[in-house]
Amino acid sequence: MSTPPYRGRFAPSPTGPLHPGSLLAALGSWLLARHAGGQWLVRVEDVDPPRTVAGAIDQQLATLAAMGLASDGPVVHQSRRDGLYQRALDRLLATGQAFACHCSRRDLATQHGIHHHCVARSERAQPAIRLRVPPGSTVAFEDGLRGRIAQDVHAEVGDFVLRRADGFWAYQLAVVVDDGQQRITDVVRGADLLDSTPRQILLQRALGLPTPAYLHLPLLLDANGRKLSKSEAAHPLDPSQPLPALRQAWADLGQDRACLLGATGPAALLARARAHFDPSRLPRQDIAPCPSPG
């Protein structure tokens, strides 16, 4: 069987402006795709309207364009893909792999929030739909940077939500259906999602989809050691100043700053970055900010 051509992606949620941590994931996934001679796609993960910030989608896409990072195909918006998600859910319901669940967060509090069987004290107007995760569902995969990762999804996560009780699609379902439908071969993203990968692999198996290769990049931390987060609107990128941001992301990816000297625009800088990128230099540890002087 021949290996399918490399297809990577960057999939931001529009919860605020892109920040240096998002650029790290965007540039890292772009460089790895180019290094493999592959394609790189942008997907807008706007399935969570309560967390979507007005204007953030356009702002994020404009910032990526200013950085010279352009999708190799049409930008996909998850909010326009209900039919795909519904068909996947219907298949899982029809085979008994998914089930309706009326449990609330409060009902599950006595079980540490983990669902192993329904304990609902009342019916909801609209139940959530969960994937059944039987005992023995341990999933292991080889992360491109961190090596072998294993999780007992039954014990640590339990039956997880595919469609929420408020009717919105869960991230786990949308991301798996889209990675499958877009024939993504390589998922490169921040290490905050490491914990989600075993769930996504289980769901791929349930839907008969191939499992891509995974590589989780280190996170940029704030001064308190927490992940920089878009929703806190921390340090948004300035699209009018792409070069310093790209240079910083390049250095945070463990690459040699000197390789980019002299580039006067994003296209020239990215061409150099692509030529000099060395995946073996990618850091394995999260990145703390430099202490401020004084």
Q: Is 81 in a helix, a strand, or coil?
A: coil
Whole-angstrom distance, CA of residue 2 vs CA of residue 13: 33
For residue 16, give every residue at least 6 positions away whose Cβ sits within 8 Å of its Cβ, in sequence order, or none. 53, 56, 229, 230, 231, 232, 233, 236
Q: Is 16 in a helix, a strand, or coil?
A: coil
Q: Per CB under 6 A, which region of 6-14, 34-42, 153-161, 243-251 contacts ligand GLU?
A: 6-14
Nearest residue (CB) to ligand GLU, 173 versus 269: 173
Which ranges in the chain belong to alpha helices (H)? Answer: 20-35, 56-66, 82-94, 105-109, 153-156, 171-181, 197-207, 242-252, 266-276
Nearest residue (CB) to ligand GLU, 43 versus 260: 43
Nearest residue (CB) to ligand GLU, 11 versus 260: 11
Please identify which residue in 6, 7, 8, 11 interacts with ligand GLU, judged by CB under 6 A: 11
Stretch 36-55: interaction string toward ligand GLU, x if CB under 6 A = ---------x----------
Please identify which residue in 36, 193, 213, 259 interacts with ligand GLU, judged by CB under 6 A: 193
Q: Per CB under 6 A, which region of 9-17, 32-40, 240-248, 252-260 contacts ligand GLU?
A: 9-17
For residue 29, give every residue at least 6 positions away whose Cβ sits within 8 Å of its Cβ, in sequence order, or none. 8, 9, 10, 40, 188, 189
24 near ligand GLU (CB under 6 A): no
Q: Per CB under 6 A, which region of 10-18, 90-98, 147-155, 238-246 contacts ligand GLU?
A: 10-18
Please identify which residue in 6, 7, 8, 12 interacts with ligand GLU, judged by CB under 6 A: 12
For residue 17, give every residue at least 6 positions away whose Cβ sits within 8 Å of its Cβ, in sequence order, or none. 56, 59, 60, 63, 230, 233, 236, 237
14 near ligand GLU (CB under 6 A): no
175 near ligand GLU (CB under 6 A): yes
Least separation in angstroms between residue 199's CB and ligand GLU is 11
Least separation in angstroms between residue 275's CB and ligand GLU is 26
Whole-angstrom distance, CA of residue 97 vs CA of residue 147: 30
**192, 133 Cβ separation under 8 angstroms:** no
Whole-angstrom distance, CA of residue 118 vs CA of residue 102: 7
For residue 46, give every residue at least 6 positions away whose Cβ sits within 8 Å of its Cβ, in sequence order, or none. 13, 14, 52, 57, 77, 78, 79
Nearest residue (CB) to ligand GLU, 11 versus 129: 11
Least separation in angstroms between residue 213's CB and ligand GLU is 13
7 near ligand GLU (CB under 6 A): no
Least separation in angstroms between residue 147's CB and ligand GLU is 20
Binding residues vs ligand GLU (CB under 6 A) = 11-13, 45, 175, 189, 193
